[in-house]
Structure 1
Amino acid sequence: MNKNEDSVKNSEFGFGESNDAYAKYFFGQSYLKRLASNSDEKINVSNVSFEPGCRNNWHEHSIAQILIAVAGEGWYQAEGQVAQKMLPGDVVIVPAHTKHWHGADKDSWFAHLAIMVGDAKTDWYESVDEAEYEKLN
């Protein structure tokens, strides 16, 4: 088993299914487990799991997003800022219209809760530069 695979796959929040709907915006394999959703209140809470090395493309949301690391080791980076390591219990509030990416460390599984409240529109951009990602440790 790979580093942190057991803790991600057996998280209290569930593991989810292959994230095929968003696969074109990810490098590597991710999994999505919807935890709570209410269209009237415009609330969505999901557990997103990433295999080692998996991360999403640069993107931005029209509303704020909250990321809560729940298992494994991962990364979050806002454009123009240094990437920050995410470990279980770490929380990041991504302000609306902030170009960013998040995903697993190159040698570890990772899972985070993604929470959004409001009408969200997401704009997707280029993938994370491979050479820059490989420098993260």
Structure 2
Amino acid sequence: MRYKIKYFLPVVIATIIACRQDQKAAHTPAPIFPKGEKNTNENFVGEVWVKSLVDADSVNETAVGNVTFAPGARSKWHLHPAGQIVLATAGVGYYQEKGKSKMILRKGDVVKCPPNLPHWHGASADSTFVQLAITGREKGPTVWLDAVPDSVYLAK
């Protein structure tokens, strides 16, 4: 009997652990939209992935992109001549307009960025952040400004 318990007990424990890990994986929601390609331009600090979901054209001048920020990643200060809407879909992020305090964004939060107002957005220091960026292009392209220094990014 001791012989059977000696070999049977580790199998039972391993099975229980495997089942618990499967349960955790089942509760991790899949991303809504594809992560996209890693950004290679100079408009962001840190690792950022962008997937264009809707390209602006002559019929609909609104672009929609899925943007994934690694922890600590952020955009430069920038503005949109026609404004922008940010829909937070996962993680924890930040949004700040020039002259105002930084806002914390979580899944389900919505921000309306006014036209021509410098702002930045990105992930918190310890969480990935995913957003949908809805940007009107009818009044011109995004205007990129200076990088957001750590002193601003880390400020409370």
Same fold (TM over 0.5): yes
Distance 1:48 1:59 in 2: 15
Q: Which whole-Å deviations, capped at 9, do the CAs of 1:72-117 have from their partners, x for residues lacking one?
A: 0000000001100000000000010000000000111001000023
Note the C-alpha offset of 1:38: 4.1
Matched, 1:105 2:111: no
Structure 2, gaps ≥5 residues long: 1-27
Matched, 1:134 2:145: no
Q: Count the aligned residue pairs.
A: 127
RMSD of Structure 2 on Structure 1 (CA):
1.4
Distance 2:120 2:132 in 1: 14
Structure 1, gaps ≥5 residues long: 1-5
Note the C-alpha offset of 1:37: 2.2
Task: Name the residue aligned to 1:14.
Answer: 34
Distance 1:125 1:62 in 2: 13
Note the C-alpha offset of 1:45: 0.7
Q: Which whole-Å deviations, capped at 9, do the CAs of 1:40-75 have from their partners, x for residues lacking one?
A: 221211100000000011011111100000000000
Distance 2:57 2:99 in 1: 34
Matched, 1:72 2:91: yes
Note the C-alpha offset of 1:36: 1.7
Distance 1:132 1:61 in 2: 21
Task: Name the residue aligned to 1:117.
Answer: 136
- The percent of aligned pairs where both chains have the same amino acid is 37
Amino acid at match of 1:11: P
Relative contact order: is structure 1 or structure 2 higher (C-alpha 8 Å, sep ≥ 6)? 1
Rate the CA distance shift 1:43–1:54 in 2: closer, same or farther, 3 A.
same
Task: Name the residue aligned to 1:3.
Answer: none
The structure having more radius of gyration, on CA atoms, is: 2
Asked if 1 retains the 8 angstrom alpha-carbon contact of 2:80 and 2:135, the reply is no
Distance 2:50 2:94 in 1: 18
Note the C-alpha offset of 1:26: 0.7
Asked if 1 retains the 8 angstrom alpha-carbon contact of 2:56 and 2:137, the reply is no
Normalized per residue, the structure richer in helix is 2
Normalized per residue, the structure richer in strand is 1
Task: Name the residue aligned to 1:43.
Answer: 62
Amino acid at match of 2:131: H
Distance 1:114 1:69 in 2: 9
Q: What's the TM-score, normalizing by structure 2?
A: 0.76
Q: Which whole-Å deviations, capped at 9, do the CAs of 1:7-47 have from their partners, x for residues lacking one?
A: 6xx41112111122xx3011101001111224122121110
